Structure 1
Amino acid sequence: MSEISVADLLQAARDVTAAAIAEPLRHYRAGFSVEQKADESPVTIADRETEAALRQAIAARFPDHGILGEEYGSEGLDRKFVWVVDPIDGTKSFISGSPLFGMLTAVLRAGKPVAGIIRMPALGECYGGAAGVGSDRDGTPIACRRGVTPEKAFLCINEANGLMADHPAAFQRLMKFGAYQRLTYDCYPYAQLAGGQVDAVVDYNLQPYDYLPVVPVVEAAGGVITDWQGQPLTLESDGRVVAAASVEIHAALLRTVAGSLS
């Protein structure tokens, strides 16, 4: 089998997520039961059916690729290409009727995320990005905002509850960062960052299927995204994320969370 291009991987990710949209939407704002997982996070039939549809489509198209998903675990993580999927990123948003839940997909090549999709089924938006290809929203090129200093930045603070509980000093510093701060959740702030609406996102306590799909979208839009120590995000990262529109804002945020890494 010939080597598949990054552009083709991005298009494949776009296709398989588009084909799975019907699964969450037929349950959205409809009656369904909510279960609690071992970590006390919610899960619904929509999460499971959506991931099953994604896995089936990926396996049919790329039977030699590995896959990691939130609901059904992993297989073939040692393979050259690995897909990482989160069928409904933001189940709390989904069960409360908020349209800000997403469908996330990344393709890793030799462990590095090279193509990613942030699809927002209820909003009808799809953000894609790939190394050397660029980022787009529904086919229209997008880019991170330029010319904003750290002092003028608009910062989204994800998972504020956990941050306040575990790193209160860092949280207080973040609440004074830049010109605007907004407490946010789930994946949409990364789409806003890539699209030039906000300038930075700080996140906490994530899993690989939460953060790896957004990496190519942010990077291909000209942004910077790492862990809190400034290291690249991988399957083994600790789930703490700093993303920014520029190296300058990113560096200022790393200084802001410094001392909260234990």
Structure 2
Amino acid sequence: MATPDQWQSLHEGRLAAMIEVAEAAGAHTLKHFRSSELVIDAKQDDSPVTIADREAEQLVRKLLFERFPQDTLQGEEFEEQTGSSSYRWIVDPIDGTKSFVCGVPLYSTLLALECDGNPLGGVIFIPAMGELIAAAIDQGSWYRRGDGAAWEAAQVSTKTDISQAVFVTSQVDSFDQRGASDAYKRLESDAWVSRSWGDGYGYLLVATGRAEMMIDPICNAWDVAAIYPVITEAGGTFTDWKGTKTVRGGDGVGTNGHLHAAVLDRLS
């Protein structure tokens, strides 16, 4: 396996660009983070969006299309741009916008790369904390604690008892929204501890062995496309609630693998 510093030659430089572009977009969001002048708008689904979300996605599109104009790009804030190549980029410029507007530093910038519909790589970048994890299929999952730090191989935990596990999610009432409040209660009761503020950061915690299960009751492809390679290359498992290995199931479960069956059982 090659470290991210050696990815320049892979897929015509796309995997190396994936990290560079995610870092640039994430760094841009910091210009608006904790700004007293930040304006919060509501989308049609009543979720918040800001100028930081829009500008960061526009920057991703600009940087990627300068280098790979033939690729397709799907993002949360703007319409998909379809290209002629087999590569597709999927970006969530700010995953955890509610955290962002509250001044909580646990929001992330997510960028994923697919080829012919199959996952190739993904990045979770936590701009306000400097943490970054990048993964590529068959190249491992790699964690960097802060700017300038050396890459470390990311590895999920080895816990096999759910009573010792850390359970992370983003917002508890999202379980209620899909009629799964009982599933949340089962997991909260059986786990050692539960925490929210999850979003992309929750999956990063699973991939680095600091949590054992991160669960999204409702999500879109841009919320989890980067997550699949990050979790699986760290030795874990990512599926939808039915156990299918997909980022387009409308929900998501990322675990250390050892507890995956037990988690799915409690979600059913």
Same fold (TM over 0.5): yes
Unaligned runs of 5+ in 1: none
Q: Describe the superposition over 1:127-185 as per-residue Cα deviations: whole angstroms up to 9, x where unpaired.
A: 11111111111222111011432332211133311103421221221212232222333
With over 3 angstroms needed to count, the CA separation of the structure-2 counterparts of 1:179 and 1:21, relative to structure 1, is closer
TM-score (norm 1): 0.91
Instruction: Give the counterpart letter for 1:237 in structure 2.
Output: G
TM-aligned CA deviation for residue 55 of structure 1: 0.6
Pairing partner for 2:107 from 78, 101, 106:
101
Counterpart in 1 of 2:228?
215
The answer to whether structure 1 residue 244 and structure 2 residue 249 are counterparts is: no
The answer to whether structure 1 residue 20 and structure 2 residue 25 are counterparts is: yes
TM-aligned CA deviation for residue 190 of structure 1: 0.4
C-alpha distance in structure 2 between counterparts of 1:63 and 1:77, whole Å: 7
Counterpart in 2 of 1:9?
14
With over 3 angstroms needed to count, the CA separation of the structure-2 counterparts of 1:7 and 1:60, relative to structure 1, is closer
The answer to whether the Cα contact below 8 Å between 1:6 and 1:115 also exists between their aligned partners in 2 is no
The answer to whether structure 1 residue 145 and structure 2 residue 157 are counterparts is: yes
C-alpha distance in structure 2 between counterparts of 1:67 and 1:216, whole Å: 18
Counterpart in 2 of 1:134?
140
The answer to whether the Cα contact below 8 Å between 2:159 and 2:212 also exists between their aligned partners in 1 is no
The answer to whether the Cα contact below 8 Å between 1:51 and 1:86 also exists between their aligned partners in 2 is yes
Within a 5 Å distance, the mapping from 1:41-60 to structure 2 comes to 41-60=47-66
TM-aligned CA deviation for residue 8 of structure 1: 4.1
Q: Secondary structure at the match of 1:118?
A: strand
Within a 5 Å distance, the mapping from 1:195-210 to structure 2 comes to 195-210=208-223
Q: Secondary structure at the match of 2:195?
A: strand
C-alpha distance in structure 2 between counterparts of 1:109 and 1:40, whole Å: 32
Pairing partner for 1:182 from 195, 201, 213:
195
The answer to whether structure 1 residue 171 and structure 2 residue 184 are counterparts is: yes
CA RMSD of aligned residues (A): 1.7
Q: Secondary structure at the match of 1:159?
A: coil
C-alpha distance in structure 2 between counterparts of 1:78 and 1:194, whole Å: 33
TM-aligned CA deviation for residue 21 of structure 1: 3.2
Pairing partner for 2:124 from 109, 118, 124:
118
Q: Secondary structure at the match of 2:138?
A: coil
Q: Percent identity at matched positions?
A: 32
C-alpha distance in structure 2 between counterparts of 1:214 and 1:125, whole Å: 15
